[in-house]
């Protein structure tokens, strides 16, 4: 029940919304199995348009780097194979899900995998954290990081370590025997105030008793 694979993904993009013609310029992802990172995927993608100096400065990705990169369609085909049918996770998942779905539609690959949002989960698991941005949570939980932000693989790795930490903390704090993906999805929809009682109830149903 607790053994499932999760692909934690992050996109860098030309702007904020695929609805306004923005495209992906980099994807990074890690595959988590048995709560360990076991594989990685990273590629720049050529969006066939110039990116703004703001995006260049924000990501460190330049127009020159992108002009030498493979096409988005080629990378998305490879990434679809990497994702397989695994559950998906992203920090502020709504953003990455919109871009993922838009790019998959362009290559006629509809998404069937379920998503969970590590940001919504962190608000319920770490309500006392100073903020729930990825950078703040990495510092707050002293997670492994190479110090690079706004590059896709670095952000996906950090989010992967956050996910692993959240699963471990839920088990330790609430005496949960296992933390299925469906539990994480449901927890993200429970109000912050109701989250502790909800988790104690789940622990009771699992026969763990629920720690105080």
Query: What does pTM read for this prediction?
Result: 0.94
In this structure, the number of other CB atoms found within 10 A of the CB of residue 48 comes to 10
pLDDT digits (tens, 9 = 90+) for 18-73: 999 999 999 999 999 999 999 999 999 999 999 999 999 999 999 999 999 999 99
Q: Which two tokens stand for residue 131?
A: 């903020």
Rg of the chain's alpha carbons, rounded to an integer?
A: 18
* Residue located via tokens 């993200």: 188
Give me the phi and psi of 88, to 5 degrees please.
-120, 145
pLDDT digits (tens, 9 = 90+) for 135-185: 999 999 999 887 677 799 999 999 999 999 999 999 999 999 999 999 999
Q: Go through the domains of the chain in sequence order and give each one's CATH number.
A: 6-206 (3.30.420.10)
User: What would the DSSP string read from start to end of 156-207?
Assistant: HHHHHHHHHHHHHHHHHHHT-S---HHHHHHHHHS-TTTHHHHHHHHHHHHT
Please check the confidence at residue 212 and state whether its pLDDT lies above 50: no
Asked if 58 and 150 count as a contact pair (C-beta separation under 8 A), the reply is yes
Asked if 35 and 164 count as a contact pair (C-beta separation under 8 A), the reply is yes
Helix (H) or strand (E) holding 27: strand 24-33
Helix (H) or strand (E) holding 59: helix 53-59
């Amino acid at each position: 029940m607790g053994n499932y694979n999760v692909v934690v993904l992050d996109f860098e993009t030309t702007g904020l919304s695929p609805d306004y013609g923005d495209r992906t310029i980099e994807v990074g992802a890690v595959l988590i199995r048995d709560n360990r990172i076991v594989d990685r995927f990273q590629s720049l993608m050529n969006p066939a348009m110039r990116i703004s100096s703001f995006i260049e400065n924000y990501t460190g990705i330049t127009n020159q780097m992108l002009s030498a990169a493979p096409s988005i369609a080629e990378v998305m085909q490879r990434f679809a194979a990497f994702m397989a049918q695994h559950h998906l996770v992203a920090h502020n998942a709504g953003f990455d899900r919109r871009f993922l779905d838009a790019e998959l539609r362009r290559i006629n690959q509809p998404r069937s995998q379920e998503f969970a949002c590590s940001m919504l989960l962190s608000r319920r698991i770490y309500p006392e954290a100073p903020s729930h941005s990825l950078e703040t949570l990495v510092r707050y939980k002293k997670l492994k990081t190479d110090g690079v932000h706004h590059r896709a693989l670095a952000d996906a790795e950090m989010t992967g370590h956050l996910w692993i930490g959240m699963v471990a903390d839920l088990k330790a704090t609430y005496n949960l025997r296992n933390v299925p993906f469906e539990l994480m999805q449901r927890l993200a929809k429970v109000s912050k105030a109701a989250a502790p009682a909800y988790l104690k109830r789940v622990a009771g149903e699992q026969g763990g008793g629920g720690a105080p």
